[in-house]
């Protein structure tokens, strides 16, 4: 049977309707919006904003946010149509299986590991950075030694004595991934409740920073707003395009990580009470709220401190250090931010881990992964074995790979997924025009094509080293597919 055999829409809809033996439907539209905001606001905003300003665009990182938001909005419209039409776990993987066939579905399913699993690891690393800030500046305890909160591939900036420290293992990052994986095994509804509390807290903190920080903006830090094109080499020896158009596109690719999460809402379709109505609200609502907050936040942060600050002193826990240095009298806000950021990062990791386990659940149900990934706990009705396996995978990334590398891998993997989702909408409109669609993407094929163009431009801005990592990752995926998945696919081998 062809490698591009498609999964019938009727079969997908039958799976969506069969919830007694599958996942439990507990989520409402409000829960999905909170779930989306919980995934979106986190490491991307509080860590990647400063990184993009330092490495790529300076104050014009705000324009990078706008470019990234446009790409996400275009892809979000496509996600909203597909998730309301095919309300089943699996996100872009499921949509690709129905429109472009099994081989491409496997590619996107494997690619989604970069988005969810590696994304969770990225935020786990950021969580570790802010934990040290909490220990030192809020609790006034001793910081965790550099060696035990950084990967083996990282080294510190020389201290006052000229000593350079090299990481061994990021223990806090591994610990938070393990804790939240166990919470997900307990249940989706319980996880969504915890996430809802955290979302309210961190959105309030972002608004406070914007309001109080606005009065401390230094116009000189925004001059020139778009720096001249040049090359910046960071302390790890990595070159970045800085300033000009390529700098803005590079920043868009970096801060794009800040928007990852709204699409994770679609992976919970099979656990949503009324997915055809709730899915578009959850996806587009969370994206719209976060876009406004992001642009305002980036404008304030880059106005508080010069670019050199984010390259040196403010490299880690940048928001808190910027408040402490450039907002006298607001040290209390910095301490509050530290606590809220740790909680916020936790919710992001939670949603990323949720998304990854549901993608693996769907791939396992189709026979492309071992059956252990779709084993549902008899009491909690969650894919507990998948969560445990993901705990090991994500924990390893968080403990042993640098944050910048996994962050950019997450961005390029997600952008690739978005491109295929946009393509899927165009194909499905042609192949199944009568499919009931609770929400329709406007101006097809113009909107999906624009989504493809903007996402491809951001991939271009991320540079050739990230393209190589993506190709290497996909090569590993091909080996697994032809060695195991093709032989065990239920669609290609119906007698198995």
- Cα-based distances in Å from 257 to 34, 303, 311: 18, 22, 19
Q: Phi, psi at residue 91, to the nearest 5°?
A: 55, -135
Query: Long-range contacts: 9-14, Cβ < 8 Å, 24+?
Result: 9/86, 9/98, 9/432, 9/435, 12/86, 12/88, 12/94, 12/98, 13/86, 13/88
| 306, burial (CB in 10 Å: exposed 0-12, middle 13-18, buried 19+) | middle
Question: Looking at the domain assignment, is residue 88 inside a domain?
Answer: yes
- CA separation for the pair 391, 64 (Å, rounded): 33
CA–CA separation, 360 and 369 (whole Å):
7
Range of the domain at 208: 29-116+142-170+187-348+407-488
User: Is 217 domain-assigned?
Assistant: yes
Asked if the structure places residue 1 within a domain, the reply is: no
How far apart are alpha carbons 402 and 153 in whole angstroms?
7
Domain count, the chain: 1
Cβ proximity of 448 and 425 under 8 Å? yes
Q: Which residues of 10-41 are buried (b: 16+ CB within 10 A; e: fewer)?
A: eebbebbeeeeebbbbbbbbebbbbbbbbbbb
What does the pLDDT read at residue 90?
Answer: 60
Give the model confidence (pLDDT) of 94-144 as tens digits. 888 888 889 988 998 898 887 788 888 888 988 998 898 889 888 889 889
The pLDDT assigned to 89 comes to 59
User: Can you read off the two tokens belonging to residue 250?
Assistant: 């590079």
Q: What is the DSSP letter of 242?
A: E
128 lies in some domain: no
Angle at 409 between CA 487 and CA 199, to 5 degrees: 105
Q: For the whole model, what pTM was predicted?
A: 0.77
Whether residue 112 lies inside any domain: the answer is yes
137 located within any domain: no
CATH number of the domain residue 82 falls in: 1.20.1740.10
pLDDT of residue 33: 81
Q: Using alpha carbons, list the distances in angstroms from residue 455 to 28, 65, 322.
A: 30, 13, 31
Residue 212 lies in a domain: yes
How much is the pLDDT for 227? Answer: 94
pLDDT for position 351: 76
Find out whether 65 and 258 touch, Cβ atoms under 8 Å.
yes
Q: How far is CA 454 from its chain centroid?
A: 18
User: Mean pLDDT per 10-residue run, the chain (496 residues)?
Assistant: 78 61 66 77 77 92 92 86 72 81 89 82 87 86 89 79 85 93 74 70 88 95 94 78 91 83 65 74 83 92 94 78 92 85 81 83 90 84 86 91 75 86 91 83 93 91 82 92 92 76
CA dihedral of residues 451, 452, 455, 460 (deg, nearest 10): -150
Query: Quick one: tokens of 170?
Result: 């990021």
Residue 213 in domain: yes
């Amino acid at each position: 049977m062809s490698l591009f055999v498609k999964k019938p829409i009727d079969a997908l809809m039958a799976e969506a309707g069969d919830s007694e033996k599958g996942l439990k439907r507990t989520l409402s539209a409000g829960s999905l919006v909170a779930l989306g905001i919980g995934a979106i606001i986190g490491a991307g905003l509080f860590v990647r904003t400063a990184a993009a300003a330092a490495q790529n665009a300076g104050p014009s990182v705000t324009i990078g946010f706008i470019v990234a938001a446009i790409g996400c909005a275009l892809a979000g419209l496509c996600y909203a149509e597909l998730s309301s039409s095919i309300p089943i776990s699996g996100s872009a993987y499921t949509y690709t299986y129905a429109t472009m066939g099994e081989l491409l579905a496997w590619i996107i399913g494997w690619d989604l590991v970069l988005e969810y699993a590696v994304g969770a690891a990225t935020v786990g690393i950021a969580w570790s950075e802010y934990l040290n800030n909490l220990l030192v500046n809020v609790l006034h305890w001793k910081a965790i030694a550099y060696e035990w909160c950084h990967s083996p591939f990282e080294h510190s900036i020389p201290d006052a004595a000229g000593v350079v420290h090299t990481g061994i293992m990021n223990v806090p990052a591994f610990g938070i991934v393990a804790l939240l994986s166990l919470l997900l095994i307990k249940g989706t509804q319980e996880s969504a409740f915890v996430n809802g509390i955290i979302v309210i807290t961190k959105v309030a903190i972002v608004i406070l920073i914007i309001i109080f920080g606005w009065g401390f903006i230094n116009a000189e830090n925004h001059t020139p707003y778009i720096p001249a094109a040049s090359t910046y080499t960071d302390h790890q020896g990595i070159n970045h395009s800085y300033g000009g158009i390529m700098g803005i596109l590079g920043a868009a690719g970096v801060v794009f990580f800040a928007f990852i999460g709204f699409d994770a809402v679609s992976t919970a379709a099979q656990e949503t009470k009324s997915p055809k109505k709730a899915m578009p609200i959850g996806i587009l609502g969370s994206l719209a709220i976060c876009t406004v907050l992001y642009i305002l936040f980036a404008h304030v942060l880059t106005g508080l401190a010069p670019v050199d600050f984010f390259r040196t002193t403010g490299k880690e826990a940048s928001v808190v250090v910027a408040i402490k240095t450039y907002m006298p009298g607001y040290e209390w806000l910095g301490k509050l931010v530290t606590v809220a950021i740790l909680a916020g990062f936790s919710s992001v990791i939670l949603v990323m881990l949720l998304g990854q386990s549901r993608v693996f659940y769907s791939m396992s149900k189709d026979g492309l992964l071992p059956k252990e990934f779709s084993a549902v706990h008899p009491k909690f009705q969650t894919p507990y074995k998948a969560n445990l396996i993901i705990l090991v995978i994500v924990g390893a990334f968080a403990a042993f790979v640098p944050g910048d590398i996994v962050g950019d891998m997450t961005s390029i993997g997600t952008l690739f997924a978005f491109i295929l989702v946009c393509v899927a909408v165009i194909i499905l409109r042609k192949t199944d025009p009568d499919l009931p669609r609770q929400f329709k993407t406007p101006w097809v094929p113009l909107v999906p094509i624009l989504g493809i163009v903007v996402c491809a431009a951001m991939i271009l801005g991320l540079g050739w080293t990230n393209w190589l990592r993506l190709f290497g990752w996909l090569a590993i995926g091909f080996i697994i597919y032809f060695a195991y998945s093709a032989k065990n696919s239920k669609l290609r081998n119906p007698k198995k």
